[in-house]
Amino acid sequence: VVVVESKSLYKPADPEDVSLRILLVDDEPHIREALSEFLTTINQHQVVTAGNGEEALGLFKPDEFDCAFLDLKMPGMDGIGLLTRLKEADQSLPVVVMTGFPSLDAAVGTMRQGASDFLIKPFSLQQVKATLERVVREQRLLRENLRLNEELKQKEKIESLNKELEKRIKYQNTIHQISEKIDLLQKSEELYQGIADLAAFHLAASKVTVLVVDRVNDQLLIIAVHGLSQEVVGRTAGTLQSGICGKVANEGEPMIGQPGQDLILDSILELKDPYLCQPIKIRDEVFGVMVATEKRNGQPFSSKDLFLGRFLLSKSALAIENIALYESMVADLHSTLLSLVGAMEAKDSYTRQHSRRVTSLSVLTAQRIGLDLAQIESLQFAAYLHDIGKIGIKDMVLLKEGKLTTEEYEHIKQHPVIGESITKAMDLTDAERSIIRHHHESWDGRGYPDGFAGEEIPLLARIVAVADAFDAMTTDRPYRVAKSRSEAVEELETCSGKQFDPEVVRAFLDTLSRYHTMEELDRDAAARDDVLTALVV
Ligand SMILES: [Fe+2]
């Protein structure tokens, strides 16, 4: 069947050609032998032979063979069966089918199964060589192609991983930005507005509303808005029993609402597009709802928006809880300090209401000078506490009716330092604490406890010093009767530039001149005192 040609006809092996490993399967031994011998002579190809399909499968291992020659007609598993199995094991293996009974059907069948070529028996060895070279070349191209495809896939995979990574970094950054911004917000009012502004920015929504749940009155109250008129703040936006917001408040899960579902909400929040409605929870308890609408890119809200919204709201809820705890602690502390002052004044009938009057006079003077709100708030709080250190002064000294001995005077001079140390453990600002420590310093440096002079003495303490002196002069003391208002004014003028800051004395006297009587000043101050009460209790 095989026409064996003279070896002299063979071209020398291409030095670039590598030695191939070839599987040769034929049930006719002489064909196996002749072909095997021939193939071995080309480039020292290694030939592994098998007499049938089963044997061939036993010898075959994927990636160990570069090519296979199969006889189509064999007892047991035929060539097509073997071809199918080999292709299953190694997709890129070139398979040459040899047959002595060519038919179109058989040809189509084998090609379908992935055969690379046909050899029709009888064939010349030259044909075998040419076929081998061609299929191996094709196989190399195929493998190269597969490799390139693999590389491409790998590249695409890396690109998509990079994109995913970029997305995550962006997320991380957004989350970090939200966290940082929220950490900067110190008061609950600021926080609600912060939620609205941050949600508008990160969810790319034109309008955001923050509502609080009022379960007592069964309603939702607008507490902050972005992209809407501030006039709606404080208004009711529906009940807890109706609408999407009510459902979100009751069930604690986010929802997408459609305009037309809740007419009250639609009209107040100007809802024209679908809106995202998310609960604000502290420990699983819903206390607010955020409504965001009108995406700036016109797209619907995505799962990313939902995630960012949820993060923003849970982070804000933590901050709200902390602020609420802090605010109630501060309120507790302030009321403790105020009652300490009350206890101290109760001991001494002469100084009763002294702290309140000094506070009023100091605040009015500070306003006259034009100090800012933060300074006035500090003054309002700390002027009231200026003598709190007297709680540490012995009653026999504090309440003594006669003249104080030097020792007793030195003891009483301790009260600014004692006062400062009482408030040290408490949450007072440096400015507030310095009022308590320095309210007995003198402009000429002859005061106590530090002997500070001029502008070295904090301005707020210089103000309290004048107000304190004026009130002391105009009140009865155990050792002397009160001076009249004009006498006290005269005394301040005399001491201006010596004991007191002249500018503070000027502002103080200007303020005083606006009131005919101390009662009038008291009434005005009492009205302002309400502000103090609202601030600290
Ligand atoms: Fe004092």
Question: What is the pLDDT at residue 524?
Answer: 75
Element (H, E) at 211: strand 205-214
**Please, what is the end-to-end C-alpha distance for the chain in angstroms?**
113
Alpha-carbon torsion angle 159, 163, 169, 170, nearest 10 = 150
Question: What is the pLDDT at residue 7?
Answer: 38
Question: What is the pLDDT at residue 43?
Answer: 79
Question: What is the pLDDT at residue 350?
Answer: 63
pLDDT band at 177 (very low <50, low <70, confident <90, very high): confident
Question: What is the pLDDT at residue 6?
Answer: 39
Query: For the CA atoms of the chain, what is the radius of gyration?
Result: 48
| Cβ neighbours, 10 Å, residue 104 | 7
| Cβ neighbours, 10 Å, residue 217 | 10
This prediction's pTM: 0.47
CB 381 within 8 A of CB 535: yes
CB 276 within 8 A of CB 289: no
Mean pLDDT value of segment 276-300: 90
Lowest mean pLDDT among 98-102, 371-375, 442-446: 98-102
CA 448 – ligand 1 centroid, Å: 10
Q: Where are the beta strands (DSSP E) in 158-299?
A: 205-214, 219-226, 236-239, 255-257, 275-282, 285-295
CA 419 – ligand 1 centroid, Å: 9
Cα gap 509→499, rounded to integer Å: 15
CB 333 within 8 A of CB 531: no
User: Percent of the chain having pLDDT more than 90?
Assistant: 34
Instruction: Considering only residues 28 and 239, tell me which one the structure prediction assigns the higher pLDDT.
Output: 28
Q: In DSSP terms, which residues pair with 239 in a beta bridge? A: 219
pLDDT band at 113 (very low <50, low <70, confident <90, very high): confident
User: Cβ neighbours of residue 269 under 8 Å, at least 6 residues apart?
Assistant: 207, 209, 228, 232, 237, 275, 291, 293
pLDDT band at 13 (very low <50, low <70, confident <90, very high): very low
CA 520 – ligand 1 centroid, Å: 25
Tokens of 342: 């009350």
pLDDT tens string 149-174: 888 988 898 888 888 888 888 888 88
Burial class (CB in 10 A: 0-12, 13-18, 19+), 154: exposed
- Beta-carbon neighbours within 5 Å of ion ligand 1: 387
CA 135 – ligand 1 centroid, Å: 107
pLDDT band at 3 (very low <50, low <70, confident <90, very high): very low
Instruction: Considering only residues 366 and 11, tell me which one the structure prediction assigns the higher pLDDT.
Output: 366
CA 389 – ligand 1 centroid, Å: 8
Cα gap 118→95, rounded to integer Å: 9
pLDDT tens string 309-334: 998 898 888 888 888 887 777 777 77
CB 264 within 8 A of CB 237: yes
Question: What is the pLDDT at residue 532?
Answer: 46
pLDDT band at 534 (very low <50, low <70, confident <90, very high): very low
Lowest mean pLDDT among 13-22, 207-216, 266-275: 13-22
CA 525 – ligand 1 centroid, Å: 20
Angle formed at CA 515 by CA 511 and CA 521, multiple of 5 degrees: 90
Mean pLDDT value of segment 33-60: 90
Question: What is the pLDDT at residue 2?
Answer: 46
Mean pLDDT value of segment 250-271: 86
- The Cα-based distances of 87 to 45, 74, 111, 267, 406 in angstroms read 21, 18, 12, 69, 113
Mean pLDDT value of segment 376-393: 89
User: Percent of the chain having pLDDT more than 70?
Assistant: 93
Helix axes 485-495, 459-473, angle to 10 degrees: 140
DSSP annotation of 189 reads H
pLDDT band at 349 (very low <50, low <70, confident <90, very high): low
pLDDT band at 528 (very low <50, low <70, confident <90, very high): low
CA 465 – ligand 1 centroid, Å: 8
Cα gap 222→244, rounded to integer Å: 15
Does the pLDDT of residue 12 top 50, yes or no? no
Tokens of 192: 């609600």
pLDDT tens string 422-444: 887 677 889 999 999 999 999 99
CA 412 – ligand 1 centroid, Å: 9
